[in-house]
């Protein structure tokens, strides 16, 4: 029987109302249904271990859950950004799971540090990302040689990457669960409109989007106004399913455009009772009209919104779907709209190129290029006049033609974007990946308390990063706020020698976290003169034995002193510079003949002192023909 692959999927949590979140949920459901894999999710945006019991797969949130970790994230913008992409927990997840495949699904800049990790490519590693503008992001190009399995969400991105010589990039669209989105019957749609106060002869234009600046709702509002002025008999309504508290100030845009606010609708939902409604905007955090809950009835957001079945009803209120944007990686709402049989209008740029062709049941929106300030990315400015013209085209289209085009749109998504189509493709990709066998210890550098820092550093930042990397075996990013504090202390005049002492102590602690089962694994084989002090396992005796540390080192200054003691008492000996290494008591450490050797057989230590708890006089420290005094 073939080995079951352990698959770790790292993305927006499947609980998030985002494109990444929906895709994550879909592919996990599909892969789970195959019964072929041990599945793990590292979900961004959720605290560690939260909601794990609700999943049929093993779930970990990527945010800190402890008060100290939460405080560090809140106080440090750089750490907060790293936390949002799961960088604070990814190493912990790799160590815990030891996956056969790490599959990262996020914006490309989320993986800048991940691809440099010592464990990267020890197992199968795959990035499945969105690239949405020209020129291609420098990060996407720079990371390409490190990413063996490189997948993008649109053929636009694959084409443009290959133009610059990156030939191993392939397209794998984000997945849509087609079972959630479908055309309701005529009677059901009539009843739905009546429920929300919409007349059956109103021409409803819809847009489902996160209220980001790249979603150009401003162009749509102006296009809507032009169309409505030309066809007042259409009783046109503009349904904006989005959060009115982020991104564009939609209220102001509507007012300045001269559009009647009563003609612009939005979706409200209640996180308490899970009910929703569609109406003109009337503010945020209102009392729920369904259950009476206080201050919770707001427009939909990524953290609190409608269910998939409710979103299907929102689409079914529409007669046509319009999606103007500056650029995009896939724009999942376009595919959802197509599944409900809607004709879709979208900007003919980046991923939109695939969505506005005759075979996709879509219509292109004309656009003009402009350059984004700072990045100089080529972005699209959708034409409000063309939006109006395309709305007119669909409005005047015969009903049988609309139905035919809507069916084409649905079939296209099922064939190219559906839960099953993308799931099968991903399953084939995973099954084709080779089996891996790697040591998780080798994938993470060991702390090294014996590291010798350089004599001179160019800056406090260079010093801090060097000692963190080499003493602790970790990147500075793994320590978040700690390294920022260290750099500040250096700039404030704290002596480097004082900091080095603390880092060495921390390095010893980190080293002790790695399980050691043999004495041979503990000792430094490059250093030949060794003395062992094996301390009885109680705190009082441990404190008394600290007295002998200086005496041993005074008599045997050329020897490295190893102290073997129960893990719970390690810190008793950390302050003593005379101790070369504090070690956990392991099997055989109190066997004098093994430690020092017997007959002609050489031991691991020149001398091994094993004081008796009942007799701690110096006379008891006599081993191998040598006395302490």
- The residues with which 533 forms a beta bridge, in sequence order, are 563, 609
Asked if 42 and 89 count as a contact pair (C-beta separation under 8 A), the reply is yes
Please say if the pLDDT value at position 68 is more than 80.
no
Please write the tens of the pLDDT for every residue from 284-325.
999 999 999 999 999 998 878 899 999 999 999 999 999 999
Please say if the pLDDT value at position 524 is more than 90.
no
Of residues 567 and 411, which shows the higher confidence score? 411
Please write the tens of the pLDDT for every residue from 530-584.
999 998 877 888 888 888 888 888 889 999 999 999 887 888 888 888 999 998 8
Predicted confidence band at 450 (pLDDT cuts at 50, 70, 90)? confident
Predicted confidence band at 625 (pLDDT cuts at 50, 70, 90)? low
Of 57-71, 82-96, 355-369, 475-489, the range with the lowest mean pLDDT is 475-489
Predicted confidence band at 429 (pLDDT cuts at 50, 70, 90)? very high
Rg of the chain taking only CA atoms, in angstroms: 32
- Give the pLDDT score at 401: 96
| DSSP state letter for 492 | T
Across the range 53-75, mean pLDDT stands at 80
Measured distance CA(136)–CA(156) in Å, rounded: 11
- How, if at all, do strands 124-129 and 362-365 pair? unpaired
Asked if 320 and 394 count as a contact pair (C-beta separation under 8 A), the reply is yes
Please write the tens of the pLDDT for every residue from 329-369.
999 999 999 999 999 999 999 999 999 999 999 999 999 99
- Give the pLDDT score at 589: 84
Measured distance CA(123)–CA(95) in Å, rounded: 12
Please say if the pLDDT value at position 623 is more than 80.
no
Please say if the pLDDT value at position 407 is more than 80.
yes
| DSSP state letter for 282 | -
Residue 369 burial (CB < 10 Å; 0-12/13-18/19+)? exposed
Residue 51 burial (CB < 10 Å; 0-12/13-18/19+)? middle
- Is 3.40.50.11930 the CATH classification of the domain at 5-175+426-432? yes
Provide the percentage of residues in the chain whose pLDDT is more than 70. 93
- Within 10 angstroms of residue 118's Cβ, the number of other Cβ atoms is 14
- The residues with which 241 forms a beta bridge, in sequence order, are 208
Please say if the pLDDT value at position 1 is more than 60.
no
Asked if 150 and 169 count as a contact pair (C-beta separation under 8 A), the reply is yes
Measured distance CA(537)–CA(208) in Å, rounded: 65
Predicted confidence band at 113 (pLDDT cuts at 50, 70, 90)? confident
Please write the tens of the pLDDT for every residue from 124-175.
999 999 998 888 888 999 999 999 999 999 999 999 999 999 999 999 999 9
Of residues 345 and 508, which shows the higher confidence score? 345
- Give the pLDDT score at 575: 85
- Give the pLDDT score at 629: 46
Mean pLDDT for the chain overall: 89
Please say if the pLDDT value at position 96 is more than 60.
yes
- Within 10 angstroms of residue 72's Cβ, the number of other Cβ atoms is 21
- Give the pLDDT score at 443: 75
Provide the percentage of residues in the chain whose pLDDT is more than 90. 59
Please write the tens of the pLDDT for every residue from 221-255.
999 999 999 999 999 999 999 999 999 999 999 99
Please say if the pLDDT value at position 628 is more than 60.
no
Asked if 30 and 2 count as a contact pair (C-beta separation under 8 A), the reply is no
- Give the pLDDT score at 621: 47
Q: Which two tokens stand for residue 256?
A: 């300045």
Measured distance CA(584)–CA(513) in Å, rounded: 10
Asked if 228 and 286 count as a contact pair (C-beta separation under 8 A), the reply is no
Across the range 257-261, mean pLDDT stands at 97
Cα separation values, 613 from 146, 204, 542, 586, Å: 56, 86, 10, 18
Q: Which CATH class is domain 178-412?
A: alpha beta
Asked if 65 and 414 count as a contact pair (C-beta separation under 8 A), the reply is no
Asked if 381 and 367 count as a contact pair (C-beta separation under 8 A), the reply is yes
Across the range 504-532, mean pLDDT stands at 76
What's the fold here for domain 519-627?
A: Rossmann fold (3.40.50)
3-state SS, residue 354: helix
Cα separation values, 492 from 178, 487, 495, 501, 553, Å: 59, 9, 9, 18, 35
Measured distance CA(414)–CA(338) in Å, rounded: 10
């Amino acid at each position: 029987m073939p080995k079951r692959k352990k698959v770790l999927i790292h993305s927006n949590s499947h609980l998030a109302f985002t494109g990444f979140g929906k895709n994550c949920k879909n592919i996990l459901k599909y892969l789970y249904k195959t019964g072929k894999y041990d599945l793990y999710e590292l979900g961004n945006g959720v605290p560690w271990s939260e909601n794990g019991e609700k999943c049929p797969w093993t779930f970990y949130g990527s945010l800190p859950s402890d008060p100290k970790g939460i405080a560090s994230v809140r106080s440090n913008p750089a750490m907060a950004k790293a936390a949002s992409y799961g960088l604070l927990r990814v190493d912990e997840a790799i160590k815990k799971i030891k996956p056969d495949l790490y599959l990262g699904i996020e914006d490309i800049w989320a993986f800048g540090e991940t691809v440099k990790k010592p464990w990267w490519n020890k197992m199968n590693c795959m990035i499945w990302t969105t690239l949405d503008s020209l020129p291609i992001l420098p990060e996407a190009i720079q990371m390409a040689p490190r990413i063996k399995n490189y997948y993008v969400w649109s053929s636009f991105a694959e084409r443009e990457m290959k133009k610059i010589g990156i030939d191993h990039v392939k397209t794998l669209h984000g997945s849509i669960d087609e079972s959630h989105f479908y055309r309701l019957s005529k009677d059901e749609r009539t009843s739905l409109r009546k429920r929300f106060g919409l007349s059956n002869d109103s021409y409803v234009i819809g847009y489902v989007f996160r209220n980001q600046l790249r979603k150009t709702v401003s162009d749509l509002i102006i296009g809507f106004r032009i169309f409505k002025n030309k066809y007042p008999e259409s009783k046109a309504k503009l349904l904006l399913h989005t959060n009115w508290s982020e991104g564009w100030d939609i209220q102001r845009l509507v007012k300045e455009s001269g559009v009647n606010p009563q003609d612009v609708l939005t979706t409200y939902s209640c996180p308490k009772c899970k009910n929703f409604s569609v109406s003109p905007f009337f503010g945020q955090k209102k009392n729920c009209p369904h259950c009476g809950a206080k201050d919770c009835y707001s427009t939909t957001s990524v953290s609190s919104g409608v269910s998939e079945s409710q979103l299907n009803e929102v689409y079914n209120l529409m007669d046509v779907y319009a999606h103007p944007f500056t650029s995009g990686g896939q724009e999942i709402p376009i595919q959802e709209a197509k599944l409900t049989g809607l004709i879709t209008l979208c900007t003919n740029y980046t991923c939109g190129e695939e969505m506005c062709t005759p075979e996709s049941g879509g219509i292109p929106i004309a656009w003009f290029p402009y350059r984004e300030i700072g990045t100089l990315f080529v972005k699209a400015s959708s034409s409000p006049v063309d939006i109006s013209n395309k709305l007119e085209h669909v409005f005047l289209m015969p009903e049988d033609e609309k139905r035919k085009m809507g069916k084409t749109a649905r079939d296209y998504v099922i064939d190219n974007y559906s839960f099953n189509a993308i799931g099968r493709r991903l399953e084939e990709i995973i099954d084709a990946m080779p089996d891996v066998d790697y040591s998780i210890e080798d994938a993470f550098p060991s702390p090294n308390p014996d590291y010798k820092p350089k004599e001179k550093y160019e800056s406090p930042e260079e010093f801090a990063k060097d000692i963190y990397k080499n003493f602790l075996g970790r990147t500075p990013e793994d320590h978040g706020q700690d390294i920022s504090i260290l750099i500040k202390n250096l700039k404030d005049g704290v002596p480097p020698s004082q900091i080095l002492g603390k880092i060495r102590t921390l390095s010893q602690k980190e080293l002790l976290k790695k399980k050691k089962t043999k004495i041979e694994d503990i000792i430094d084989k490059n250093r030949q003169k060794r003395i062992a002090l094996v301390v009885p396992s109680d705190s009082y005796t441990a404190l008394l034995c600290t007295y002998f540390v200086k005496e041993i080192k005074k008599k045997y200054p050329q020897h490295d002193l190893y102290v073997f003691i129960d893990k719970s008492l390690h810190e008793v000996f950390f302050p003593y510079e005379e101790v070369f290494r504090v070690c956990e008591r392991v099997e055989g450490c109190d066997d004098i003949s093994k430690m020092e050797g017997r007959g002609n057989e050489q031991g691991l230590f020149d001398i091994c002192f094993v004081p008796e708890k009942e007799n701690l006089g110096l006379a008891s420290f006599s081993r191998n023909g040598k006395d302490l005094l």
